[in-house]
Structure 1
Amino acid sequence: MPAPIVIFAFNRPEALLKLKETLERNTLYEESEKYVFVDGARNEGECAKVEEVVSIARKITSNVTVAEKNKGLGSSIIEGVTTVINQYHKVIVLEDDLICYENFLSYMNQALDFYQNNSRIFSICGYGLKIKRPMGYIGDVYLSGRSSSWGWGTWKDRWEQVDWEIKDWKELSSNRKMQKAFNKNGSDMFIMLKGYMEGRNRSWAIRFCYSQFKLGKYSVHPFLSKIDNKGFGEDATNCRQNYSRFKVNIDKELSNNFSFDKNIVPNSDIERQCRKYHSILIRLYSKIRRILHI
């Protein structure tokens, strides 16, 4: 049975409609159970758009949950995923600002099945950075210490290992060596987690990534991305800019046959390329473009 698709939406009806259209082109769409969680409006001005989103959601599935008040994305995802994963033991998760390519569901389901019993794998990601495949590398995917929140999946036993409260924060906040190790997955990792702990953001993803790091686990990513993010711009909640440093190689062949390596291990060349995307220099360049709205 395919993993259930769990979609999180808010106040962007056009975005949810586009996601719906791209998902419907996937061969496993009809066979998949679908759940949509719609967050509540923050003010009266958003009510009409939220109602429009609910209307579109009901065309996707009858399994629609509408929050009575605004929870924020972090709380919505934690609660929604927990509800569905407790029933199905695995999930595929999407947000409304994403578009899927036609082999996204095939890739996600095959990877979830293939790596289910590999305890080193914490999550499956449909999004992959623009990574050059090393000479002689086997398989269509690579490992990363940093998971992606743009079209991903996991299993119940991994989800239950996430420490959402960050119980060891006191130790981490005073341990520079541990902070440096965490930042090997990106120079922004510790500062994002610190931002959550100090109330400057409500990110669920940075807490998920920290648990993945702390447990010594990895996420699986494709060299050819099966997902893209169209949520950049002034209406976006978290990405208010047109430029994105997260470049991808799009899967144009749209094959439903994938090569997975059961003995997959981290590759130092790939890890170096991943770190470059999250380096201080690239982040600074991205920040300048955000300030200049370019």
Structure 2
Amino acid sequence: MELAPVILFVYNRPEHTRICLEHLEQNKLAAESELYIFADGAKPGGEEAVAAVRRVVSRPWKFRRVTVVERPENRGLAANVIDGVTTVLKQYDRVIVLEDDLVVSPWFLRFMNEALETYKEEEQVCHVTCHMLDHKGRLPETFLIKWCNSWGWGTWRRAWQYFEPDGAKLLHEIESRGLCWQFDLDGGFHFTQMLRDQIAGRNNSWFVRWYASLFLRDKLMLGTERSLVDNVGFDGSGTHCNTMQLCTQTLDPNPIEVVPISPIKECQLARKVYSRTYRYNYSYRHKLLVFIGNLWIRLFKKRR
């Protein structure tokens, strides 16, 4: 099986970067895998944190080969991701992509590489992930869905060619075809507004443009019922602390088998579960509960 190179994007969170690399290193395929690290440059006043991250990535990590690209200037995550993925895919036909706030299972690389190998010639499948939010209801072990997930993912050169960086062009086609509801995961989350915000400069999301690029071509993502990835980056401090997150995910200790799905079509049950999960997590009621929980945790820590 051809092993995909792993791309890791880092910036100014040394502790997250260390934890991410330590977990990734525990994968059995790590020692056989190429690792590319793209380290973004500092903004004024942020030089110390960026330097600390670069000291972390310069350690002798146990991968087949580590290539570190230190950006001399601050590009921002979107530009860093787009350029990094494009650059590596000029040399390889597939990649696995991580960011510094992700913690992965020891089975992560096995699943991702098997999935990328299994679906390498299936034109309808353009994105692979093994991250899943905690949800109610059972799903197939793996499934196909017309969506994307940016927290631990993989793709192929044949798919990345569809990436359209012009958000306005994407939005125009979504709106002119009357696809806003479907693009929003059947009303589960405001992805259309997220794209509008990207166009207006209120965010710089590469993800919403990647999702829209594949969505408009009716491409599919391979997803999993259990999660081999956990995002620990919602604390705002660069270290993982015990606070309540709006969206939770449980890191599963067991491997996930890749069994080819036939026929290649969207799993409607998965679409309903995703829509319901996002709708609940971002509801005003849930946001209020999380806010109260975080407030209680902060007050409790102060008293201690």
Partners of 1:68 and 1:82 lie apart in 2 by 19
Compute the displacement of 1:171 (Å): 2.8
Compute the displacement of 1:84 (Å): 0.5
- CA 283–74 in structure 1, closer or farther in 2 if over 3 Å, else same: farther
**2:90 pairs with one of 86, 89, 105:** 86
**1:64 pairs with one of 62, 65, 68:** 68
Compute the displacement of 1:246 (Å): 3.0
- The residue type paired with residue 88 of structure 1 is Y
Q: Does 1:116 align with 2:120?
A: yes
**1:133 pairs with one of 114, 131, 138:** 138
Partners of 1:57 and 1:171 lie apart in 2 by 41
Compute the displacement of 1:152 (Å): 0.4
**What is the TM-score with the length of structure 2 in the denominator?**
0.86
- CA 243–176 in structure 1, closer or farther in 2 if over 3 Å, else same: farther
Assess if the C-alpha contact under 8 Å between 2:281 and 2:287 holds in 1: no
Residues 4-83 of structure 1 mapped to structure 2, 5 A cutoff: 4-44=5-45, 46-59=46-59, 60=61, 62-83=66-87
Partners of 1:164 and 1:283 lie apart in 2 by 30
Q: Which residue of 2 aligns with 1:149?
A: 150
Compute the displacement of 1:207 (Å): 0.4
Secondary structure of the equivalent of 2:226?
Answer: coil
Unaligned runs of 5+ in 2: 295-304
Unaligned runs of 5+ in 1: none
Secondary structure of the equivalent of 2:178?
Answer: helix
Give % identity: 29
- The residue type paired with residue 138 of structure 2 is R
RMSD: 2.6
Secondary structure of the equivalent of 1:41?
Answer: coil
Q: How many residues get paired?
A: 287
Q: Which residue of 1 aligns with 2:180?
A: 179
Compute the displacement of 1:2 (Å): 0.7
- The residue type paired with residue 133 of structure 1 is R
Q: Which residue of 2 aligns with 1:225?
A: 227
Partners of 1:175 and 1:168 lie apart in 2 by 11
Assess if the C-alpha contact under 8 Å between 1:94 and 1:150 holds in 2: yes
Compute the displacement of 1:221 (Å): 1.1
Partners of 2:173 and 2:283 lie apart in 1 by 23
Q: Does 1:164 align with 2:151?
A: no
Secondary structure of the equivalent of 1:87?
Answer: coil
Q: Which residue of 2 aligns with 1:196?
A: 198
- The residue type paired with residue 15 of structure 1 is H
Compute the displacement of 1:172 (Å): 4.1
Partners of 1:291 and 1:251 lie apart in 2 by 27
**What is the TM-score with the length of structure 1 in the denominator?**
0.88
Partners of 1:286 and 1:202 lie apart in 2 by 26
Q: Which residue of 2 aligns with 1:261?
A: 261
**CA deviations over 1:117-146 (Å, ceiling 9, x no partner):** 111111001202335335xx5xx2122222
Compute the displacement of 1:87 (Å): 0.4
**CA deviations over 1:137-195 (Å, ceiling 9, x no partner):** 5xx21222221111100000100111111363463475482222312353311010000
Secondary structure of the equivalent of 1:88?
Answer: coil
